[in-house]
Amino acid sequence: MSDDRLGDALAAQRAEEVRRAARALLRRPLLRAGSDEFRLVRQHAAELRTWFERNTGWALLVDSEVARLRRIPGRGTDPSHPARDQRTWLPFSRRRYVLVCLCLAVLERAEHQIALGRLAEQAVLAAADPALEAAGIDFTLADREQRTDLVAVVRLLLQWGVLAKVAGDEDAFLKAAGDALYDVDRRVLAGLLVSRRGPSTVRADGFEERLAELNAEVLPDSDELRNRALRHTLTRRLLDDPVLYLDELSEAESAYLASQRGALTRRIGELTGLVPEVRAEGVAMVDPDDDLTDLRMPEQGTDGHVALLVAEYLAGRGGTVPLAELHRQVTAWALDHAGFWRRSATVPGAETELTEQAVERLVALGLLERATAADGAPAVRARPALDRYRVGEAILLEPGQSAPRKGRQKSAKSTKGKRTR
């Protein structure tokens, strides 16, 4: 092999390794030592750090134990990716979110190991703070529901790597028949919080205002700094959001995207392998490998099939569609697919939950938005990207005849799901 060909092969191998490392960080912004992904991130840390700092403003911290991409979202008000129970996959309640914070505060002061019972005792003491009581937070471990909340939080901390199980079982704790012991990983714990300001320095009153102040950036005072801020915001949105709609952007953001769209999408594509899909309404960075996502469309199972049917039903429809209409449709589909859907789908009232789960998925994917019907009833409205799930009429072709290009529709079942955070 000539020197040129060897050099090209080595360059291609390096580019592929950097791409794998970047995708690993986008999937899991906090990586622990011991995996091939962590090894690649550490090996190419300098190049990755430079790219993320220049294009997104995210800092990358790497040491011998942890790699942490300090990933601040492009939008601070996106509610479509809640923390979820690791077994039921139900979103966390308000009390569980508070418990996460209380448990992290307890672990910050804990020894190298802690028992679940000890963690529970300290969380109960912390929850007795008058400010939390005034906010309506009640946590005393008085019933199984509260113990279940604590166990759900502990399992989330296990999944994050803050805790590592040494002995015992959470189910035994639920039944008040045993305990569990954990190691506390302080490097992971220290790297969890990502914000530009310390929470204790925030002085705003309302939740939205406090959240905005937590990650507020200094207003740029020069053209160069303003362009850099726009580049950071738009690159974050293209990496985070399944679809970047033009009507959601400010005038300055729209102008910058119009002039720099090619450069932005090319740089993202070179680093991550994502492919830009550009339409009149906006831009989506699509993942051909379909693994850089936390929500897929279509998805297997009853819930995935319902979401696909709802998408096909609403694709191409203008205006708002009341949720009550979708409830009726889901009821009919449950009877049609009774042999394939789970048995509980045909129980009266199940259509409400099935519809809500489908709508929640489609909203998170940027395919629907919630609305209000003319009579004030809850409704939904299709977003432009939902048209990719419109199924066209079948065309019977003679041997050797090709389908006309105009109006050709892609089958929803062959369409890959949009990438999300």
Domain containing residue 127: CATH number: 1.10.10
- Confirm if 55 and 99 have CB atoms less than 8 A apart: no
Are residues 159 and 134 part of one domain?
Answer: yes
Domain count, the chain: 4
The residue range of the domain holding 123 is 94-191
Please report the sign of the dihedral spanned by the C-alpha atoms of residue 335, residue 337, residue 341, residue 342: positive
Examine residue 165 and state whether it is found in any structural domain, yes or no. Answer: yes
pLDDT tens series, the chain, 421 aa: 566 777 778 888 999 999 999 999 999 999 999 899 999 999 999 999 999 999 999 999 999 999 999 998 877 777 778 899 988 888 999 999 999 999 999 999 999 999 999 999 999 999 999 989 888 999 998 889 999 999 999 999 999 999 999 999 999 999 888 999 999 999 999 999 888 888 888 888 888 888 888 888 877 888 899 999 999 999 999 999 999 999 999 999 999 999 999 999 999 999 999 999 999 999 999 998 888 877 778 788 999 999 999 999 999 887 899 999 999 999 999 999 999 999 999 999 999 999 999 999 999 999 999 999 989 999 999 999 998 887 766 566 666 655 544 333 333 333 333 333 3
What distance in Å separates the CA atoms of residue 180 and residue 173, rounded to the nearest whole number?
Answer: 7
- Confirm if 153 and 85 have CB atoms less than 8 A apart: no
What distance in Å separates the CA atoms of residue 72 and residue 217, rounded to the nearest whole number?
Answer: 11
Q: What is the pTM for the complete model shown? A: 0.84
Examine residue 76 and state whether it is found in any structural domain, yes or no. Answer: no
**181: number of Cβ within 10 Å:** 15
Are residues 305 and 410 part of one domain?
Answer: yes
Cis peptide before 298 (omega within 30 of 0): yes
Examine residue 294 and state whether it is found in any structural domain, yes or no. Answer: no
Q: Please name the residue ranges forming H helices in 28-60.
A: 36-43, 45-55
Are residues 182 and 124 part of one domain?
Answer: yes
Examine residue 375 and state whether it is found in any structural domain, yes or no. Answer: yes
Please identify, among 21, 37, 70, the residue that sits at the C-terminal boundary of a domain.
70
- Confirm if 83 and 100 have CB atoms less than 8 A apart: yes
Are residues 385 and 321 part of one domain?
Answer: yes
For 164, 241, 328, the CA distances from 369, given in Å and listed in that order, are: 40, 14, 20
Are residues 386 and 335 part of one domain?
Answer: yes
